[in-house]
Amino acid sequence: MAWTGRAARQFQRCRDRLELYEELIVNGAWWDYVDPVAGALFWPLLRDDRKEMTSAMRGWSRSADFWNRF
């Protein structure tokens, strides 16, 4: 998976993509897949929108699914 360039950055920084990222993480369910999603795609949301993302991440941290708790 390689999403690069300006279009990727705009896509990455959209909070509306949170459900998609969760789907990719849970269904990818292996480190070689989850790490690029979490690092390259998900991190900008956490960095740029920390206040709103805190609530979502607290919910994920209580999930029964291991991959949501990454």
Per-residue pLDDT tens for 49-67?
888 888 888 988 898 988 8
pLDDT at 12: 56
**Domain interval for residue 34:** 14-69
Taking only the tens place, the pLDDT of each residue in 1-32 is 555 556 555 555 566 778 888 888 888 878 78
Number of domains observed in the structure of the chain: 1
Instruction: Please report whether residue 3 resides in a domain.
Output: no
Instruction: Please report whether residue 9 resides in a domain.
Output: no
Residues 6+ apart with CB under 8 A from 52: 15
SS3 content of the chain, % helix, strand, coil (to 5): 80, 0, 20
How far, in Å, CA of 4 to CA of 26, rounded? Answer: 22
Instruction: Please report whether residue 36 resides in a domain.
Output: yes
Cα of 4 vs its chain's centroid, Å: 16
How far, in Å, CA of 30 to CA of 49, rounded? Answer: 26
Instruction: Please report whether residue 2 resides in a domain.
Output: no
Residues 6+ apart with CB under 8 A from 40: 3, 12
